[in-house]
Chain A
Amino acid sequence: MKVFLQNKFLFAGLFLSLAVAGFLSYYASSDPDGLEKVAEEKGFLDTAKDSVNAGTPLADYGITGLDNERLSVGLSGAIGVLVTLIVAFMIFKAIAKKGK
């Protein structure tokens, strides 16, 4: 994981991703995306069921109990970036090692 702090390119990419998920995400459009819009317009959105984990602390990209929306979405995004980094990097590193 140290490589993300030592390598300029990787550090810049990680910093950009953190900024996008942790800061810019607050300004994202809150309109439904293509699939949800079609489901709503054509009338099958009501068949959607809540995920079994819909009540978990990070559900819907927020932190349960944190009332400041900017902090709530930003922090959940930043957590997502770090968890994704750890999971993905460990998997890809292991695959690269096997490939040798």
Chain B
Amino acid sequence: MKMFAPLLHIPDGFINVPTSILFMLLSAAGIAIALRGAKGELDDKTAPLAGLTTVFIFAAQMINFPVAAGTSGHLLGGALAAILIGPYAATLSITIVLLLQALLFADGGLIASGLNVFNLALIGVWGSHIIFLAFRKFLPKQKKMIPVAGFIAALIQVPLAATSFVVQYAMGAESTIPVSTVFTAMISTHILIGVGEALITAFTLSAVLATRSDLVFGWKRVAPKLELKKVNG
């Protein structure tokens, strides 16, 4: 008996095959770039953290949290992964989660896998990364500000990924329901889910920063300079 039957990602059928294939190609290009870029982000010390981040996001996505009457949400993980291990490695991390979910658990269609990877591993991760960098720049350069910037990035990431779905819907929906109707509903629902995403992201970042801040990508490249300054002056 399988009562726990969540549909976490885009199933096959929502979006037509040509559009799905187009996004498969776009996602494949993104993965190829990420494979090259991740070499500069990972070393012997951070590769295990990248593995752990991937595992944690898989596990956290199993926890649907209630957001409104009859609606739940779950972590996407793009902001969390980008800040913990860097955007290239994060792209791969979210892609691994999505492909394993589609292959092992039949969650998210196989033909739709390119749509899902595009929305969460590319738009979600890179959108979050850009927002995180922008806020890190303006916020005080303190460790405790990293979860704050992460909170904002995660908050915006969810409606951003939802918008990306609406673009795919506009390009190739099998349904004839108007795009504007779907857009309004997707955004209003996903703003609420964004709050949950932001809380989980900020909490997890705080926990990792409190124990192993030396491993955190979004902090370690800002931190050493400051620490050196303190030592010298």
Question: With A25-B62, A36-B7 in contact, do A80 and B185 touch (Cβ < 8 Å)?
Answer: no
Distance to closest chain B CB from A23 (angstroms) = 10
Q: Does any Cβ of A come within 8 Å of B63's Cβ?
A: yes
Within 8 Å CB of B35, what residues of A?
95
Within 8 Å CB of A4, what residues of B?
48, 51-52
Cα separation A85 to B63 with both chains bound (whole Å): 18
**Pairwise interchain contact A59-B106, C-beta atoms closer than 8 A:** yes
A interface, over-half SS: helix
Cα separation A53 to B10 with both chains bound (whole Å): 15
Question: Which among A9, A35, A44 is the interface contact of B173 at CB below 8 angstroms?
Answer: A44
Distance to closest chain A CB from B177 (angstroms) = 5
**Pairwise interchain contact A48-B12, C-beta atoms closer than 8 A:** yes
Q: How large is the interface on A (under 10, 10 to 19, 20 to 34, 35 or more residues)?
A: 35 or more
Cα separation A87 to B100 with both chains bound (whole Å): 9
Q: Does any Cβ of A come within 8 Å of B14's Cβ?
A: yes
Question: Which among B12, B93, B181, B189 is the interface contact of A49 at CB below 8 angstroms?
Answer: B12
Cα separation A95 to B39 with both chains bound (whole Å): 6
Interface residues of A in 12-32 (CB under 8 A from B): 13-14, 16-18, 20-21, 24-26, 28-32
Cα separation A27 to B195 with both chains bound (whole Å): 20
Within 8 Å CB of B82, what residues of A?
none
Within 8 Å CB of B19, what residues of A?
none
Within 8 Å CB of A59, what residues of B?
2, 105-106
Q: How large is the interface on B (under 10, 10 to 19, 20 to 34, 35 or more residues)?
A: 35 or more
Q: Does any Cβ of A come within 8 Å of B67's Cβ?
A: yes
Q: Does any Cβ of A come within 8 Å of B6's Cβ?
A: yes
**Pairwise interchain contact A34-B55, C-beta atoms closer than 8 A:** no
Cα separation A39 to B190 with both chains bound (whole Å): 13
Distance to closest chain A CB from B64 (angstroms) = 4
Which of B22-30, B68-76, B142-150, B217-225 touches A? Answer: B68-76
**Pairwise interchain contact B110-A53, C-beta atoms closer than 8 A:** yes
**Pairwise interchain contact A99-B39, C-beta atoms closer than 8 A:** yes
**Pairwise interchain contact B100-A83, C-beta atoms closer than 8 A:** yes
Distance to closest chain B CB from A3 (angstroms) = 5
Within 8 Å CB of A41, what residues of B?
185
Distance to closest chain A CB from B135 (angstroms) = 24
Cα separation A92 to B42 with both chains bound (whole Å): 7
Closest to B65 in A: A29
Question: With A29-B72, A95-B38 in contact, do A81 and B186 touch (Cβ < 8 Å)?
Answer: no
Q: Which residues of B are in contact with A by a Cβ distance under 8 Å?
A: 1-14, 35, 38-44, 46-52, 54-56, 58-60, 62-67, 70-74, 89, 92-93, 96-97, 100-110, 162, 165, 173-175, 177, 181-182, 185-186, 189-190, 192-193, 211-212
21 contacts between A and B (CB under 8 A): A14-B52, A20-B59, A20-B60, A28-B4, A32-B7, A34-B72, A35-B7, A35-B10, A37-B70, A43-B177, A44-B14, A44-B182, A51-B102, A53-B106, A53-B110, A60-B107, A61-B105, A62-B3, A64-B2, A96-B43, A100-B43
